[in-house]
Every structure is written in structure tokens, then in C-alpha cells.
Amino acid sequence: MSSIRDFIRDALAQADHILLALCAAVNLFGIALIYSATRYDASLHSYPVKQAIAMVIGVVLFFLISQLDIDMVLSKWPWLFAASALFIALLAVPGVGHSVGGNRSWIAFPLFSVQPAEMVKLTFSMLLAKQIVWLQRHGGLSHPLSVAALCAHLAFFVGLIFLVSRDAGSALVYVFIFAVMVWAGGLGLHWFALGLSVLLLAGSALWLALPEDNYWKMRILVCFDHDLDPTYRGFQQTRSLLAIQSGKLQGMGYLQGNLTQASYRSALPARHTDFIFSACCEELGLIGASILLLLLAAIICRCFWIALNASSPVYSLIAVGYGGMLLFQVVLNVGMCLFVLPVIGLTLPFVSYGGSSLITAYAAMGILSGIKQRSLPRWLQAQAEDAWETEE
């Protein structure tokens, strides 16, 4: 019993309380928005309670995972890789994987559902960080064979996700995490230029090959011409933009938003998930939306601060990956609500309804809290890195 008490005491005392306070503040903000956004439908009234339960689970995981020995976990990297791939592959098993919104992205249990691609982002970043550092010390990160190995790592997970679930949103998050981490790892800029050129050529060829009325093609086109298809492909974002414009500076008042509280068909869609930022803008205005974005920005900045002060290159890259993950999701979600980016089903971290994504976010921050615990003063970091290289 004393060892358990010591573990709990250490977990509570050593955790990054600033990071946890920021996450909890955004999370509570989100629960308040979910409460407002679900009042119009009695079948959704339990969602704020479910999100609060997920928050409690997430906070507990934050403290527990902050005590995780990352080096020990990464020493078993083949098992970690296999478990991650198997977890995603389970979606292809009949009766196990379930479709929501057109994507086969969920594994349903009696009381809850989980989204494997959401959770595997954590292990993907850890595995990629280990691979980057190993390649840095064995031939250099910009060597053609190193780049090929990195691209194979990315292609495996992105291809697996898209193959079993068709979840383009999650796949894009993996691509951005990869880009941020290899850039932080020192990959030559000429490889980024080459990769961007290949993507542009492949994207252009695919664009020309698709018919004019292709669903995804229209989803992109309506972002450039809002009048192109306002009643179908652009309907969700048209209502989102109207809600944002209605809020003006101070908003219409909490629980008072016309489109957020309405139950008719032309009200704000997915207001507790994809378009919760639009609901925030309508009811709390520019002031409330700015406070929310500033809190999210503070979390992201804290992630990168931890990366700068990490005691090893692997820890630093993991922190960069998690910070990049949050940054990408915030930019994509807000851009989607503002009708400048296409709808791809990415929720706003710590804010949108969804226990799986919320618990994953807390777990990621728990890992960063553990990295922060092991941070060293800058004058000791060089010695620690030399010792770490010798052990490797």
C-alpha cells in the first residue's frame, strides 16, 4: 500500500500542472458549449455528462501516463508497431468495425466506442521519433535510404487507415505530424520541395481524372465559390458562416444562439462536434472565440516549450509531434468552420464532443508531462544527449 501511495503522491506532485490547468480550462469551456449545443434535442442531453466522465478518465490517465517510462516502451518498438497496426486493422473485421458519417472508423463496445486511428497517433509519433533519431545516427536523415524508410513508415499507417476506414481526415493528421517531426529532425529542405512537387503533380492528375460532380471535388470547389452548391455540398459551411457572422463581437448570449438552439433542418449542423467553434462564435462572439483560441494556443505553445527543454532528442521529437497534431487539428477545424477549408470531419481538440478523442488528447499531454518531469537545465542538456548517444 505504501508503494501505491508513493506512486500516487509522485504522480500528483511531479505532473505539469500548468499544462493540465490549460487542458482542463479548454475542456470545461467545451463541456459548456456542448451543453448549449445539445439542448435542442432531448436524445443528446446526456452528452455533456458523458463528456464530463471522459474528462475525469482523461485527467486520471494524464497523471498515470506522466509516470510512464518512455524509453522502456520504445525498447519494445516491434511490439508497439504490431499492436498499433493490429488495432487499426480490427476495423476491417466484420462486426467489429462500425461506420459513422460514412467512415468505418469506430470499434463499438456495449457502453462506449473507440476510434483506433485517433489513439494510434500517440504510438505513431513515438515510433517515428525513435526512427528519426536512429536514422540521424546511422547514415543521416537526408540520405535517400533514410527518406525511403521514413516514407515507408508514413505510407504504411496512412495506407492502412484509408484502406480500412476511408477516413481522409485522420490520414491527413498523420501526414502533418510526419512533416513537422521530420522537419524538426533536420530533413533537408530539398526533400520537402521534391515531396511537395510530387504531391502537386499527383493531386493535379487525380483532379483532372475525377468527374466534375465528384463529391470531394465539389467539397473543395465550394470553398472558393460559396454560391456554387449552397444547398448540398456547401450547406453545412454556409450555416456555419452565418452562425459566426451572427455572433459579432459579444455574441447573442450563452444558450441564446438562433442557429445553435434551433431544431429545424436549416439550423447549425454537427454543432456539438465538427462545428462547435461556430456555436461558440454565435453565442459568445469574437470575444469568447478569441479566449478559446488563446487557450488552445497556450496548450500548443506549452507542447513546443517542452520540446525545446526535453532531455533527449526522442523526447523532443515526440513533443513536437503532439504539438503539431493539436495545431493541425485546430487550424483545420477553424478553417472548416470559416468556410475556407473543406469539411473533413476533424474535431476541435478538448472542445468537441467525443470521448475517444478527448481521452487520447489527455494521454498525449500526460506523456508530455512525463517528458517535462525529465527535462534538464540547458547547461546539462548537451551532456545528457552525449550520454544518451553512447547508450544507443
Residue-level pLDDT at 139: 83
Burial of 52 (0-12, 13-18, 19+ CB in 10 A): middle
Q: In the predicted model, is pLDDT for residue 219 greater than 90? A: no
Q: In the predicted model, is pLDDT for residue 337 greater than 80? A: yes
Q: In the predicted model, is pLDDT for residue 380 greater than 70? A: no
Q: In the predicted model, is pLDDT for residue 375 greater than 90? A: no
- Higher pLDDT among residues 321 and 376, named by residue: 321
The stretch 79-86 carries a mean pLDDT of 94
* Calpha distance 171→160 (Å, rounded): 9
Q: In the predicted model, is pLDDT for residue 212 greater than 80? A: no
* Calpha distance 349→326 (Å, rounded): 7
Query: In one letter, which amino acid is 189?
Result: L
* Calpha distance 256→28 (Å, rounded): 19
pLDDT-based confidence at 233, cuts 50/70/90? Answer: confident
- State the cell numbers at 331: 487550424
Q: Are 125 and 325 in contact (CB under 8 A)?
A: yes
CA distances to 72, 128, 383 from 154, in Å: 23, 9, 32
pLDDT-based confidence at 7, cuts 50/70/90? Answer: low
Q: In the predicted model, is pLDDT for residue 315 greater than 90? A: yes
Which of 84-88, 222-226, 320-324 shows the lowest mean pLDDT across its residues?
Answer: 222-226
How many CB atoms sit inside 10 A of residue 102's CB?
11
How many CB atoms sit inside 10 A of residue 118's CB?
21
Among candidate residues 126, 133, 150, the one with its CA nearest the CA of residue 72: 126
Residue-level pLDDT at 379: 45
Cα–Cα–Cα angle for 163, 169, 170, rounded to 5 degrees: 65
- 244 contact partners, CB below 8 Å, separation of at least 6: 278, 281, 282, 337, 338
Q: In the predicted model, is pLDDT for residue 80 greater than 80? A: yes
- State the cell numbers at 29: 469551456
pLDDT-based confidence at 298, cuts 50/70/90? Answer: very high
Residue-level pLDDT at 232: 72
What pTM did the predictor assign? 0.91
Residue-level pLDDT at 321: 96
Q: Are 154 and 174 in contact (CB under 8 A)?
A: yes
Share of the chain above pLDDT 90, in %: 62
Which of 25-29, 266-270, 289-293 shows the lowest mean pLDDT across its residues?
Answer: 266-270
* Calpha distance 210→213 (Å, rounded): 8
pLDDT digits (tens, 9 = 90+) for 239-287: 999 999 999 999 999 999 999 998 877 789 999 999 999 999 999 999 9
Q: In the predicted model, is pLDDT for residue 136 greater than 90? A: yes
- State the cell numbers at 26: 479548454
* Calpha distance 246→278 (Å, rounded): 10
Q: In the predicted model, is pLDDT for residue 391 greater than 70? A: no
pLDDT digits (tens, 9 = 90+) for 175-198: 999 999 999 999 999 999 998 998
Q: What is the mean pLDDT of the chain?
A: 88
Among candidate residues 299, 301, 305, 312, the one with its CA nearest the CA of residue 374: 312
Q: In the predicted model, is pLDDT for residue 383 greater than 70? A: no
Task: Find the largest Cα–Cα distance for the chain.
Answer: 68
Return the HEC string of the chain: CHHHHHHHHHHHHHCCHHHHHHHHHHHHHHHHHHHHHCCCCHHHCCHHHHHHHHHHHHHHHHHHHCCCCHHHHHHCHHHHHHHHHHHHHHHHCCCCEEEECCEEEEEECCCCEECHHHHHHHHHHHHHHHHHHHHHCCCCCCCHHHHHHHHHHHHHHHHHHHHHHCCHHHHHHHHHHHHHHHHHHCCCHHHHHHHHHHHHHHHHHHHHHCCCCCHHHHHHHHHHCCCCCCCCCCHHHHHHHHHHHHHCCCCCCCCCCHHHHCCCCCCCCCCCCCCHHHHHHHHHHHHHHHHHHHHHHHHHHHHHHHHHCCCCHHHHHHHHHHHHHHHHHHHHHHHHHCCCCCCCCCCCCCCCCCHHHHHHHHHHHHHHHHHHHCCCCHHHHHHHHHHHHHHC
Which of 27-31, 74-78, 183-187, 226-230 shows the lowest mean pLDDT across its residues?
Answer: 226-230
pLDDT digits (tens, 9 = 90+) for 235-248: 888 899 999 999 99
Among candidate residues 388, 371, 369, 362, the one with its CA nearest the CA of residue 317: 371
